[in-house]
Amino acid sequence: MRRRQQPPLPKRYGLDPARLRLPEDGDWPTVRDHLVHRLPRVAPARIDEMLRAGEIVDLDGPLTPDAPYVPGGAIWFHRDLPDEKPVPFDIPIVYRDNTILVADKPHFLATIPRGRHILQTALVRLRRELDLPDLVPAHRLDRATAGLVLFVIDPGLRGAYQMLFQRQRVRKQYEAVAGYRAELDFPVDLESRIIKEKHVLAAQQVPGPPNARTRIELVERRGDRARYRLRPETGRTHQLRLHMNSLGIPILGDDFYPTITDKPIEDFTRPLQLLAAELEFTDPVTGELRRFDTGRTLQAWHSPDSWAAEPATGH
């Protein structure tokens, strides 16, 4: 197995520098010319500023503004960060040893950096708060979903834990609050084919061989509202949200299904009432059975009045 090349720049804010490979067939006179072409969203003046400050480097050190283009070479730099409003909720640690860490992620916090969410992600915040620069997630939760996320502390063991999820060897249990329909007979076992196209917000169910399977159980009912237990056998994007919506009982607070709601990104009220409540697996390193439970609850069930009208509290 090839070892990953060590970046010549240190992490910043818990983030590795970006690495760009210079195409073999490139004929730009300078690295600067290539970057202006390759990064159209970055102003040429900003590229010039970074070069003058020595913020763009190769393996030999900082590049000058007139550094020649070297086909097949590689350069590193830290991307400018988006302006992010802090997500005002803590990330409790459920368990930690020298190998793994289980965090109880709040609603509205993405698991990993992506798009407009960089510093305000569970991974970056935990790396910085706990001084764990090599921390990586073994799986992901949607930004809208709260609950348990397994992270790997030891870089040499990340593959073993990530493979548990890829091979569907983790028992995951979720809780959700949604409407109640008397004609539905629970438990319900659903399977469908789900696809998620790049740059399209919502996933969709399409004809074809199933790739998503979920068992849905009714736990208790209060009038026209009910609490459900969801047991996914697979991990497709938005799988639980789509399957609940397909039954005519979309999860409360869902801004994507059945229709996309234009909700401001900094609005932390009325969170999706979906919670990753339990994780259970046989540890690939120690061989012991591990089980973790969330400390969070769903507002729409435990504090229904406040959930309906007041800002989210992180639980």
Output the domain CATH number for residue 223.
Answer: 3.30.2350.10
Q: Is the pLDDT of residue 40 over 90?
A: yes
Of 10, 44, 77, the domain-final residue: 77
Whether residue 3 is contained in a domain is answered as no
- Which domain CATH number covers 62? 3.10.290
Say yes or no: 284 and 155 in one domain.
Answer: yes
Q: Are residues 39 and 161 in the same domain?
A: no
Q: Which residues are catalytic?
A: 142
- Residue 1 forms part of a structural domain: no
| pLDDT digit string, tens, across residues 119-159 | 999 999 999 999 999 999 999 999 999 999 999 999 899 99
Q: Considering only 93-102, 173-182, 274-283, 295-304, which range has the smallest mean pLDDT?
A: 295-304
| Domain of residue 70, residue span | 18-77
Average pLDDT over residues 102-111: 97
Tens of pLDDT, residues 49-100: 999 999 999 999 999 999 999 999 999 999 998 888 999 999 999 999 999 9
**Arithmetic mean of pLDDT over the chain:** 92
Helix (H) or strand (E) holding 213: strand 212-222
Phi and psi (nearest 5°) for 300?
-65, -15
pLDDT of residue 11: 87
Which residue(s) pair with 15 in the sheet? 12
Same structural domain, 51 and 176: no
User: What is the pLDDT at residue 5?
Assistant: 65
Same domain, 138 and 65: no
Q: Which residues pair with 226 in a beta bridge?
A: 178, 221
Residue 147 is assigned to a structural domain of this protein: yes
114 and 239 in a single domain? The answer is yes
User: How many structural domains is the chain composed of?
Assistant: 2
Same domain, 70 and 29: yes
Q: What is the pLDDT of residue 127?
A: 95
Identify whether residues 60 and 204 lie together within a single domain. no
Contacts of 59 (CB under 8 A, 6+ apart): 8, 74
Q: Which of 193-197, 224-228, 305-309 has the lowest mean pLDDT?
A: 305-309
